Amino acid sequence: MAAESTRVDVKERRVFSDAEKRRIVAEYRAGVEDGNGGEVLRREGIYHSLVWNWGKQIDDGTLGQKRRGPAPTGKDQAKVRVRELEAQLERAKAKIVTLEDLVTTQGKCLALHDGLRIDANATSPTD
């Protein structure tokens, strides 16, 4: 006995013209007032969020306009740059501490090598 296929037929993506979008939004809005908005959604096979977005674009006057520039990423470039600079500053501060420790250690080594007395709080050898 052959196993039945579990393959799902994928429907082609639908494309709506601006005129269709306007018609559907108008029918949906009229249907909402009558309590039949869901009927329009079921008939057209679309979700409320799609009709809501189209309605917002119609109200804003942006329906049918092409988006310009890169797609929004949700990241503010200025904030990203600030975070990069803050990280760079922290690395520089850590490097400064390391270099100060190195200079102090070099001074102590020089004092030991030359037989000089060194003050415990000094960062360089003293006589």
Q: Is 92 part of any domain?
A: yes
The verdict on 22 and 56 lying in the same domain is yes
Tell me the pTM: 0.46
pLDDT tens-digit readout, 37-47: 899 999 999 99
Is 110 within the bounds of a domain? yes
In a shared domain, residues 121 and 89: yes
pLDDT for 119 beyond 90: no
Q: Examine the domain organization and report whether 122 and 82 are in the same domain.
A: yes
pLDDT in tens, 55-64: 999 998 888 8
pLDDT band at 122 (very low <50, low <70, confident <90, very high): low
The structural domain count of the chain equals 2
User: Do residues 41 and 80 both lie within one domain?
Assistant: no
Note down the domain range covering 45. Answer: 18-60
Tokens standing for residue 26: 């108008």
- Provide mean pLDDT across the span 78-90: 91
Q: What is the pLDDT of residues 1-35, one digit of tens each?
A: 556 667 767 778 888 999 999 999 999 999 988 88
Q: What is the DSSP string of 9-64?
A: PPPPPP---HHHHHHHHHHHHHHHHHT-HHHHHHHHT--HHHHHHHHHHHHHT-TT
| Angle at which helices 37-44 and 18-34 cross, to 10° | 150
Is the pLDDT reported for residue 125 higher than 60?
Answer: no
